[in-house]
């Protein structure tokens, strides 16, 4: 069964069916769209269960000729893309459920765009042909453009233009780079690129620099890396809840994914040149995003700046280019998807009741809405990296990876621990605690069953990943190690026998799971 094609195109097929249904049958439309999204989620869970954790290479590969001249239909999944696909498949139905009431105009179009968006996102993560990747990458912009532009807030047109143009400008240069790449190699096949890059007979370093910059720009806008972040607060603030959730939780990951999958392994010689600058920009993003979040007056733009900070840490860990860093980055991408998704959902639930996003319009909601308060608190704690919840695992792995790449970088990045607590607890205090200052608050109802169902699965996952991180880490480790070795040229070999816990074995020796082969390089890794 071509499970990857099925997963990718099922939502699109659903959208086509929806297009032929009468727009007045709203319940049918919503139900059908939700059902399609849930089936896709089920497929992604099936993918997870049948995914083999021991190998780092691509699995479930589908390869067929398509347009010729190197443009082929080529899908595959590895440990890194697996969880990003799952994240998208999980959050699309959640967002649909969350929009059950809040989106009441042009419901049919909304649902169609959501499903098309899902196809685009999953396609981006699964494509192994660079051209195919580009098609999905651009196609995904269209539904997003409309989601913000049609169902967004007051300044939605400005925001959506800014979002699309920022992204497209970066990706146009990427397209040029792809074509040059094709000219040199005669193929768009990513796996072929990997093989060539590893063989030593690869691009001229000067060309690598230009191609790397073109790719890096496209991805840096998406992440977004400082100083290319200003589209993000605007897009988030104006987007409807579903748009914000997908944007923050999944779309930003495309940038980090792009670095990991394309920009870093394809141009290793350019990478070594730009790594310090990229790390520096990421670090600035961590601190700068945190400080900006501290002074926001709009809940959504606060969460948007917190994303700049969190994604900064993810990128810092990616640029650390070691096993722990990449493991942490992938894990943290999932975490950020869940926690920021949950925060935007909470903001959406509040907005539906109050029709305001200004922090100062709230206060004292905890007594009125205890269930929402509990969910909000857990989301805040997850985002702030409290141990026991998912955020901590990602954060400590990222920090350790960064730490191994550069002590000072890690010491500075640890400030995120303080800043995140400051802006998130500050937000929680102003919105939920204190006396009720706005009389309208007294009329707010606590969450109903549907709203609980929207948030509860995310909360459960936060606890699950916090307590059993192995359910992600075991599946990602081989791919993370492979991808690191592709960039650094150092082969990280998985010790095939599982490292016995020092306690169980009754003796103590530091037993790193991954051993790096070139001992001469060890020194700079530990500096």
Partner 1 sequence: MKEAFWMIPLFPAVGALGLLVFGSRLRRGAVSFLGCLTVLASFLLSLASFLGLSATAAAGGGPRIKVLFDWLDAGRLSAGLSFQFDALTAVMALVVTGVSFVIHVYSVGYMKGDRSYARYFGLLNLFVFSMLLLVMASNMIVLFIGWEGVGLCSYLLIGFWFEKPAAAAAGKKAFLINRIGDAAFLVGILFLVLFVGGTEFRLIERAALNGELGAGAATLIGLLLFAGACGKSAQLPLYVWLPDAMEGPTPVSALIHAATMVTAGVYMVARLNPLYSLSPAALETVAVVGAATAVFAATMACVQNDIKRVLAYSTISQLGYMFIGCGVGAYAAGIFHLFTHAFFKSLLFLSAGSVMHALSGELDIRRMGGLRRHLPLTYAAFLTGTIAISGVPFFSGFFSKDAILTKAFASGRHVVWALGLLAAVMTAFYMFRLLLRVFHGQERLEPSAKARLHESPPVMTVPLLILAFCSAAGGYLSLPVVFGKGLDRFPRYLESVILPGAEAHLSRGTEWLLIATSTAVALVGIVLAFLFYGRRTVVPETLIRTFPRLYRLVADKYYIDELYGAVIVNPLLRGSEAVYRDFDVRVIDGAVNGAARLTARAGKGLNVLQTGRVRDYALALLVGVLIVVGFLVL
Please give the residues from 314 up to 373 whose contact with partner 1 meets the rule CB under 8 A. Answer: 322-324, 327-328, 364, 366-367, 370
CA angle 247, 157, 114 (to 5 degrees): 40
Q: Do 258 and 222 meet the contact criterion of CB atoms below 8 Å apart?
A: yes
User: How far apart are alpha carbons 525 and 179 in whole angstroms?
Assistant: 35
Q: Which of 102, 415, 438, 491 binds partner 1 (CB under 8 A)?
A: 415
Contact set for partner 1, span 460-479 (CB under 8 A): 467-470, 473, 477
Q: How far is the CB of 29 from partner 1 (least distance, A)?
A: 32
**Cβ closer to partner 1: 39 or 414?**
414
- Does residue 417 bind partner 1 (CB under 8 A)? yes
**Cβ closer to partner 1: 17 or 280?**
280
Q: Which of 2, 54, 186, 434 binds partner 1 (CB under 8 A)?
A: 434
Q: Count residues contacting partner 1 (CB under 8 A)? A: 76
User: For residues 97, 101, 106 and 108, what is the CA-based torsion angle, rounded to 10 degrees?
Assistant: 30
- Does residue 276 bind partner 1 (CB under 8 A)? no
* Residue whose entry in the numeric block shows the structure tokens 């000067």: 206
Q: How far is the CB of 510 from partner 1 (least distance, A)?
A: 2
Site string for partner 1, 281-320 (x = CB under 8 A): -------x--xx-xxx------------------------
Q: Which of 82, 174, 235, 393 binds partner 1 (CB under 8 A)?
A: 393
For residue 282, give the DSSP letter.
H
Q: Which of 316, 399, 458, 482 binds partner 1 (CB under 8 A)?
A: 399
**Cβ closer to partner 1: 337 or 391?**
391
**Cβ closer to partner 1: 188 or 423?**
423
Q: How far is the CB of 514 from partner 1 (least distance, A)?
A: 5
**Cβ closer to partner 1: 6 or 525?**
525
* b/e burial code for range 114-134 (CB count within 10 A of at least 16 → b): bbbbbbbbbbbbbbbbbbbbb
Q: How far is the CB of 290 from partner 1 (least distance, A)?
A: 9
- Does residue 497 bind partner 1 (CB under 8 A)? no
User: How far apart are alpha carbons 314 and 316 in whole angstroms?
Assistant: 5
Judged on CB neighbours under 10 Å (0-12, 13-18, 19+), 491 is middle
Helix (H) or strand (E) holding 392, with range, is: helix 390-405
**Cβ closer to partner 1: 120 or 224?**
224
Q: What are φ and ψ of residue 267, in 5° steps?
A: -130, 60
**Cβ closer to partner 1: 69 or 471?**
471
- Does residue 508 bind partner 1 (CB under 8 A)? yes
- Does residue 193 bind partner 1 (CB under 8 A)? no
Q: Report the Cα–Cα distance between both ends of the chain, in Å, rounded.
A: 48
State both tokens at 55.
């190998």
**Cβ closer to partner 1: 35 or 157?**
157
User: How far apart are alpha carbons 260 and 479 in whole angstroms?
Assistant: 11
* b/e burial code for range 148-157 (CB count within 10 A of at least 16 → b): bbbbbeeebe
Q: How many CB atoms lie within 10 A of CB 364?
A: 17
State both tokens at 47.
């993918």
Q: How far is the CB of 152 from partner 1 (least distance, A)?
A: 17
Q: Which of 510, 519, 520, 523 binds partner 1 (CB under 8 A)?
A: 510
- Give the interface segment with partner 1, choosing from 116-124, 135-143, 339-347, 420-428 (CB under 8 A): 420-428
Contact set for partner 1, span 116-175 (CB under 8 A): 161-162, 165-166, 168-170, 173
- Does residue 443 bind partner 1 (CB under 8 A)? no
Q: How many CB atoms lie within 10 A of CB 523?
A: 8
User: How far apart are alpha carbons 307 and 318 in whole angstroms?
Assistant: 16
Distance of CA 431 to the CA centre of its chain: 27
Residue 494: strand pairing partners = 514
User: How far apart are alpha carbons 258 and 48 in whole angstroms?
Assistant: 21
- Does residue 499 bind partner 1 (CB under 8 A)? yes
Judged on CB neighbours under 10 Å (0-12, 13-18, 19+), 404 is buried
**Cβ closer to partner 1: 22 or 510?**
510
Q: How far is the CB of 411 from partner 1 (least distance, A)?
A: 6
- Give the interface segment with partner 1, choosing from 130-138, 250-258, 345-353, 406-414 (CB under 8 A): 406-414
- Does residue 280 bind partner 1 (CB under 8 A)? no
State both tokens at 497.
């026998």
- Does residue 219 bind partner 1 (CB under 8 A)? no
- Does residue 209 bind partner 1 (CB under 8 A)? yes
- Does residue 387 bind partner 1 (CB under 8 A)? yes
Judged on CB neighbours under 10 Å (0-12, 13-18, 19+), 94 is buried
User: How far apart are alpha carbons 184 and 12 in whole angstroms?
Assistant: 34
User: Is cis: bond before 224, omega within 30 of 0?
Assistant: yes
- Give the interface segment with partner 1, choosing from 28-36, 114-122, 130-138, 511-519 (CB under 8 A): 511-519
Contact set for partner 1, span 220-249 (CB under 8 A): 227, 230
Site string for partner 1, 76-115 (x = CB under 8 A): ----------------------------------------
**Cβ closer to partner 1: 188 or 259?**
259
């Amino acid at each position: 069964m071509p499970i990857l094609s099925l997963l990718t195109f099922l939502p699109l097929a659903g959208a086509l069916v929806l297009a032929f249904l009468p727009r007045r049958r709203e319940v049918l439309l919503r139900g059908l769209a939700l059902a399609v999204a849930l089936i896709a989620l089920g497929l992604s869970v099936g993918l997870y269960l049948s995914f083999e954790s021991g190998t780092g290479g691509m699995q479930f590969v589908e390869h067929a000729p398509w347009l010729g001249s190197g443009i082929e239909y080529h899908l595959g999944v590895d440990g890194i893309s697996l969880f990003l696909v799952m994240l998208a498949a999980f959050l699309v139905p959640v967002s649909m459920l969350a929009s059950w009431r809040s989106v009441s105009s042009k419901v049919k179009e909304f649902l169609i765009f959501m499903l098309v968006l899902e196809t685009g996102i999953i396609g981006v993560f699964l494509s192994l042909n660079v051209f195919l990747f580009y098609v999905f990458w651009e196609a995904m912009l269209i539904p997003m453009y409309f989601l913000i532009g049609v169902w967004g807030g007051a300044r939605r047109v400005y925001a959506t233009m800014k979002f699309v143009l920022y992204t497209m400008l970066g990706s146009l240069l990427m397209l040029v780079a792809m074509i040059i790449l094709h000219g040199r190699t005669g193929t768009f096949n990513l796996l072929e690129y990997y093989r060539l890059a590893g063989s030593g007979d690869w691009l001229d370093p000067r060309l690598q620099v230009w191609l790397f910059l073109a790719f890096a720009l496209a991805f840096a806008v998406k992440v977004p890396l400082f100083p290319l972040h200003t589209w993000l607060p605007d897009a988030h603030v104006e987007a409807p809840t579903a748009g914000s959730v997908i944007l923050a939780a999944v779309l930003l990951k495309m940038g980090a994914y792009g670095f990991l999958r394309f920009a870093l392994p394809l141009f290793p010689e350019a990478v070594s040149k730009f790594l310090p600058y990229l790390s520096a920009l990421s670090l600035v993003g961590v601190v700068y995003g945190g400080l900006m979040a501290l002074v926001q007056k709009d809940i959504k733009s606060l969460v948007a700046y917190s994303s700049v900070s969190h994604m900064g840490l993810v990128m810092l860990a990616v640029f650390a280019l070691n096993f722990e860093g990449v493991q942490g980055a992938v894990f943290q991408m999932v975490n950020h998807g869940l926690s920021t998704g949950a925060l935007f959902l909470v903001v959406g639930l509040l907005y539906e009741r109050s029709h305001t996003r200004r922090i100062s319009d709230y206060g004292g909601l905890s007594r009125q809405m205890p269930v929402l308060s509990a969910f909000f608190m857990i989301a805040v704690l997850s985002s702030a990296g409290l141990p026991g919840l998912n955020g901590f695992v990602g954060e400590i792995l990222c920090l350790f990876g960064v730490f191994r790449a550069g002590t000072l970088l890690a010491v500075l990045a640890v400030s995120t621990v303080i800043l995140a607590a400051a802006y998130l607890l500050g937000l929680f205090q102003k919105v939920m605690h204190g006396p009720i200052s706005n009389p309208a608050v007294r009329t707010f109802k606590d969450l109903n069953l549907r709203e609980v169902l929207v948030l509860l699965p995310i909360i459960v996952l936060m606890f699950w990943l916090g307590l059993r991180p192995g359910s992600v880490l075991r599946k990602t480790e081989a791919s993370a190690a492979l991808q690191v070795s592709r960039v650094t040229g150092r082969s990280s070999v998985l010790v095939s026998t599982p490292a016995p816990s020092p306690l169980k074995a009754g003796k103590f020796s530091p037993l790193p799971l991954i051993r790096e082969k070139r001992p001469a390089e060890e020194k700079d890794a530990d500096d």
